[in-house]
Structure 1
Amino acid sequence: MRFTTALIGLLAALTLQVCATAATMDINGVKVEDSAVVGGSKLQLNGAGTRYKAVFKVYVGQLYTTTKVSNLEELIAAPGPKRLSMVFLREMEAGPFGKLLTRGVEDNVPKNAMSKLVPGMIRMGDIFSANKVLEPGDVIHLDWIPNVGMVVSAKGKQQGEPFKEPEFFKAIMSIWFGESPADWKLKDAMLGK
């Protein structure tokens, strides 16, 4: 009888532990939640992974959506809010990071569409220039909220006015999910592949 009671207790404890760990995962010391709330809507983790630059771990990227997506077009078409988060693993100057984002857009958007994106790219550059340095643990959120636009938050603070143009949001998302992503492994991880 004691053995049965102990076994039931052990199984209950293991079940609770599995349920608790199912709610979050750890990637390079970053706690990745299985959901996020954006614009009043609960989003589910679509996928997460680490961005590498050469052999260096730069940040943990996380994509949250209302429905599972497996490519850029599905991401853009998905209803409701969306969130891409970056939790930095190493110190990085924000200016050069902003330039990498610009290059990522240039690598994924047709040349004839770039002129429409220039004002938004300048504003994004200003956001990163104002933040100077990204430290380990700093977080950047890129939130798409319908009827509001893309809200950029860095270090817990909203950065300027939302970017209202859906085309600009798609161009920014193409950095990670376009035909020439900055990191193929991160693309696959955030798309849950």
Structure 2
Amino acid sequence: MTLRRIRKLLATACATAGAIACLPALPAVDLGEVTLEESALVGGQNLQLNGAGIARRLVFKVYAMGLYLPDRAQHTDAVLATDGPRRMTIVPLRDISGDDFSEAVMSDLSSERFASAELRGQLLSLANTIGRRPGGLRRGDTLTLDWVPGVGAVVALNRKPLAAPMRNRAVYDALLMVWLGEKPTDPALKAKLLGGAPADLREARL
């Protein structure tokens, strides 16, 4: 098979699968104080960094965050529709108390799509589990929030699981909506998580 033929087949495959899925993975992203790797192994599958940025409250940098997916996605609905594993990585840039973390997650969950009392109760339990550590989250910690098909939502701090997996996928999707919903906690961060170009990601250093 000629090189020209191979290139033509690859181009056809990209057109068939969709342009988003065939976009190249982002390289490791240097956010100034934190560098997020270009890939992550979750549930036995290699995920690619979809986007990354820094969350801010007023003028303060609070944490760096990266979203890892099997294929690139530029829209929230595409992220929610992902069948395979997913990962959110959060690295605090300052100490965050457990109460502050729980309150932030619950107050930012504004979508009526996830407003059932049962779901909010599970989210509160999950948020409290994350914030239960004495002193809360500390600067430089690595918090990973994974969805692993057949296992559930796996929350780990510095690679150590904080609780048994939660099998309700809606809980994990609701967590995603905190950052990717119609009223995200940080609109600029949402844009970067949904495939912001490398030039956009470099702005996070400012």
Check conservation: 1:95, 1:125, Cα contact below 8 A: no
Residue number in structure 2 paired with 1:153: 156
Say whether residues 1:130 and 2:132 are aligned partners.
yes
Say whether residues 1:89 and 2:93 are aligned partners.
yes
What amino acid sits opposite 1:124 in the alignment? L
Check conservation: 1:69, 1:78, Cα contact below 8 A: no
| Partner SS for 2:132 | helix
Tell me which structure has the larger Cα radius of gyration. Answer: 1
Q: Deviations over 1:148-183 (max 9, x none)?
A: 111111233111111111111111110010000000
Distance of 1:25 and 1:129 partners within structure 2 = 27
Q: 2:35 aligns with which of 12, 27, 31?
A: 31
| Partner SS for 1:57 | strand
Distance of 1:90 and 1:162 partners within structure 2 = 27
Percent identical among aligned pairs is 32
- Give the C-alpha shift of residue 23 in structure 1: 4.3
Runs (5+) with no aligned partner, structure 1: 1-21
> What does residue range 6-155 of structure 1 map to in structure 2 within 5 Å?
23-105=27-109, 107-110=110-113, 113-131=115-133, 132-155=135-158
Q: 4+ residue stretches of structure 1 with deviation over 6 A?
A: none
Superposition TM-score, scaled by structure 1 size:
0.82
- Give the C-alpha shift of residue 60 in structure 1: 0.7
Check conservation: 1:52, 1:58, Cα contact below 8 A: yes
Superposition TM-score, scaled by structure 2 size:
0.77
- Give the C-alpha shift of residue 32 in structure 1: 1.2
Q: Deviations over 1:111-170 (max 9, x none)?
A: 7x4212133123213313411321111111110001111111123311111111111111
Check conservation: 1:90, 1:135, Cα contact below 8 A: yes
Q: CA separation of 1:163/1:137 partners in 2, compared to 1, >3 Å: closer, same or farther?
A: same
Check conservation: 1:95, 1:128, Cα contact below 8 A: no
What amino acid sits opposite 2:98 in the alignment? A
Distance of 2:113 and 2:85 partners within structure 1 = 26
| Partner SS for 1:87 | strand
Q: CA separation of 1:129/1:50 partners in 2, compared to 1, >3 Å: closer, same or farther?
A: closer
Distance of 1:37 and 1:129 partners within structure 2 = 25
- Give the C-alpha shift of residue 189 in structure 1: 0.4
Number of residue pairs aligned between Structure 1 and Structure 2: 170
Runs (5+) with no aligned partner, structure 2: 1-25, 197-206
Residue number in structure 2 paired with 1:171: 174
Residue number in structure 1 paired with 2:5: none
Structure with the bigger percentage of strand: 1
